[in-house]
Structure 1
Amino acid sequence: MVVYIVLTVLAILNVVTGVFCNNAIESARADKDIAIMKQMQKHAKQLKSLRGVFKEIDNDQSNLVSLQELKDALKSKKLASFLESMDISTQDIWTLFMVMDSDGSGDVTLEEFVTGCMQLQAGTNCC
């Protein structure tokens, strides 16, 4: 009778342990999915912000930003602070512009601006 009781208690403990382990695994999987969703939302917000910043910089509404427009815009603390918050240095404006101007045309398009900022931010976060 004692052996039966011991085996029954061990079986019940094994089932309870299995339930707890299963819940922990499912919880970890859900946490990973939530982290991925948050990262995707953060990325989408950054893209929207960068598009808004581009429109602020583009004074003549040409959908192109010249070096002079970028210099003028960086004189305001708002844009400089925004780029600094993304870990993009605004100390050397010419180098910043040349990095963004991927096709070497002398003007930066919206796509070049967004891609350049995202690459510069990724470059500072990688190390």
Structure 2
Amino acid sequence: MSIAGGVSWEQVLVPLKAIALPWVLLFLFYMFFTYFAVLNVITGVFCQTAIDSAQNDHATVIHSILANKQAHLEKVRDLFNKLGAENTGGITYLMFEEKITSPEVKEYFESLGLDVWDAWSFFKMLDLDDSGAVDIEEFLMGCLRVRGNAKAIDIGKIIHDQTWQIKEQGKFQTYVESWRSGLSDFLGFRFYRI
């Protein structure tokens, strides 16, 4: 009851003083340990779980970004202007590479939780249509797409694509080998592998 607030711990100490001093010390140690160790640890665990849940809820962050899409588009427009794309309406790789180290651009990427250390790879991820330029919508959606941790579906898609590429590469190599063999038979000499 002393811990839960039903009885003041000072009222419990009076009868314990009458019995013996070691009981008073044991009770004070119990109160100290319970308040500072057990209750604070339990409170800390609940608070940390709530904080982690709020920070890691990727879907909530994406939903809030999409809900505030107009505000983000304005930020991206400002960023495009800082990158020098006000006339063209798009960012080229050279413009992106030139301004990637500027504080404004770094600050924008940090606000999205992106760590852009390789400008070329990041630009290629944003430029899905391989046009050589990224417009505002493509930039915003690309940043949102590469933001956060990889999900199982992302890894599954990569495995599927890579398996397909290996199979197609094998077909191509078989075709080249048969073509090379036919060519060497036709020309009357043998090609050797290097």
User: 1:75 Cα shift?
Assistant: 2.0
User: 1:59 Cα shift?
Assistant: 4.5
Is it true that 1:95 corresponds to 2:136 in the alignment? no
User: 1:83 Cα shift?
Assistant: 0.5
Aligned to 2:72: 46
Deviations 1:19-74 (A, max 9, x none): xxxxxxxxxxxxxxxx9xx9365444223212221232134621121111001111
Aligned to 2:111: 85
Larger radius of gyration: 2
2: CA distance, partners of 1:43 / 1:60: 20
**Aligned letter for 2:146?**
L
For residues 84-123 of structure 1, the aligned pairs below 5 Å read: 84-121=110-147
Normalising by structure 1, we get a TM-score of 0.58
**Aligned letter for 1:103?**
D
2: CA distance, partners of 1:62 / 1:43: 22
Distance 1:47 1:126, change over 3 A: farther
1: CA distance, partners of 2:69 / 2:86: 28
Gaps of 5+ in 1: 1-34
Equivalent residues of 1:54, 1:113 under 8 A apart: no
Equivalent residues of 2:126, 2:134 under 8 A apart: yes
Equivalent residues of 1:51, 1:114 under 8 A apart: no
List structure 1 segments (4+ residues) > 6 angstroms apart after TM superposition: none
User: 1:126 Cα shift?
Assistant: 6.9
- What is the total number of aligned residue pairs between the two structures? 89
Is it true that 1:58 corresponds to 2:79 in the alignment? no
Normalising by structure 2, we get a TM-score of 0.40
1: CA distance, partners of 2:88 / 2:109: 22
**Aligned letter for 1:98?**
K
